[in-house]
Amino acid sequence: MHPALAPFTFPRGSRTVKNRCVLAAMTNKQSHDDGRLSDEEIRWLTMRAEGGFGIVTTAAANVSEQGKGWDGEFGVWSDHHLPGLTQLAAQITKYESIGLVQLFHGGMRAPESITGVQPVSASENGGRGMNGTVSRALRGKEIEAIILDFGMAAARCERAGFQGVELHGAHGYLIAQFLGAKTNRRTDKWGGSLSNRWRFLQSIIRTVREHTSDDFLVGLRLSPVLTSAGFEIHDALETVEMCTKTELDFIHVSCWDIDESVEHEGHVRTYTEWFEHVLDGRMPLVSTGMIWNADDAQKAIDQGTDFVGVGRVGIAHPNWPDYLERGSIEPVRPPFSPDHLTRAGLSPTFIKYMRAWDGFVTE
């Protein structure tokens, strides 16, 4: 049997998942304007649970109304999201898969054109994707309010029947903006040294724990390097070390390409190897990036990950775990026709969005 098909029991909380195949969070623009899940979004995720993924992660969902980064985004900031959340959780659970909601706040990447208010961040920041605007620095009380929003959102997800959440600390959104030295230039307790910059994330982890049950899964997704934010591999590894002292259930390293490696303290290792080097078995690890077939999944496991995360292959192949069975054929690679993607459960809106991903959809 492929090792990614073996069950896994989380050491904290003792929840067992039927295999180590994780559908990574993927934005798909299918939610309603007020953040409620659409039937199309519920269907596409349900098909991946039915297709055999042990863990199905939702798209990034904003925990505060003003943390919304793009149109069609899924929201978890109010109880009016509960009916859709409850329906999705029931569907995922029906197929004995574990459902995780990815919680985030866009921060400086929640544009005024979407939210109606100036974007906020750890500091005043401008830059890529901000159309010449700048964020304003959050006040202390506002920081506390957003931390509480994460807690309330997690509680809402649990109430709806989800088994856990993944905190989105990767890819340059608000948590990453606090972690990065370039985007966080505060001089109060929330900025300065990494241990101060990490206080926002640490407080979120604590608050989410306080608002959820003991066996509720709480994971964290991190980028190994985010140079634009001022977050380098040594910051990532120090953050991972600090995470081992918290009540997180897993760390998810967002590699984009599991073959990529980086030099640190005179050694060259892949991102997965570095994360596992620090974790040393103390906390489960998920790794994602360019895993397409059974050999890629094996390679990620050989690098030290416990779970194999996939994005794009899971869009094209709802039953991707089947391709890990011995003797199975290779999953077909992009480009995919709109017909193929429709059969895979994508709505026209999602297919249109996938055209933005180079070479994924046929002309």
| List of residues contacting ligand FMN (CB under 6 A) | 24-27, 59-60, 102, 168, 170-171, 221, 254, 256, 288-291, 310-313, 357
**Closest C-alpha among 39, 25, 40, 46 to residue 83:** 39
Q: Considering beta carbons, is residue 95 or 256 the nearer one to ligand FMN? A: 256
65: three-class secondary structure by DSSP: helix
Rounded to a whole number of angstroms, the minimum distance from the CB of residue 113 to ligand FMN is 19
| Residue at shortest CB range from ligand FMN | 311
Q: Considering beta carbons, is residue 61 or 122 the nearer one to ligand FMN? A: 61
Rounded to a whole number of angstroms, the minimum distance from the CB of residue 24 to ligand FMN is 3
Rounded to a whole number of angstroms, the minimum distance from the CB of residue 23 to ligand FMN is 9
**Closest C-alpha among 15, 221, 242, 247 to residue 101:** 221
19: three-class secondary structure by DSSP: coil
Burial bucket for residue 262 (CB in 10 Å: 0-12, 13-18, 19+): middle
Place of tokens 């620090």: 278
Rounded to a whole number of angstroms, the minimum distance from the CB of residue 117 to ligand FMN is 22
Q: Considering beta carbons, is residue 116 or 359 the nearer one to ligand FMN? A: 359
The rounded distance, in Å, linking the Cα atoms of 97 and 163 is: 10
Spatial contact of 311 and 279, defined as CB atoms under 8 Å apart: no
CA 285 to each of CA 64, 116, 267: distance values in angstroms, whole numbers, following the listed order: 28, 38, 21
Q: Considering beta carbons, is residue 137 or 243 the nearer one to ligand FMN? A: 243
Q: Considering beta carbons, is residue 86 or 349 the nearer one to ligand FMN? A: 349
Rounded to a whole number of angstroms, the minimum distance from the CB of residue 81 to ligand FMN is 16
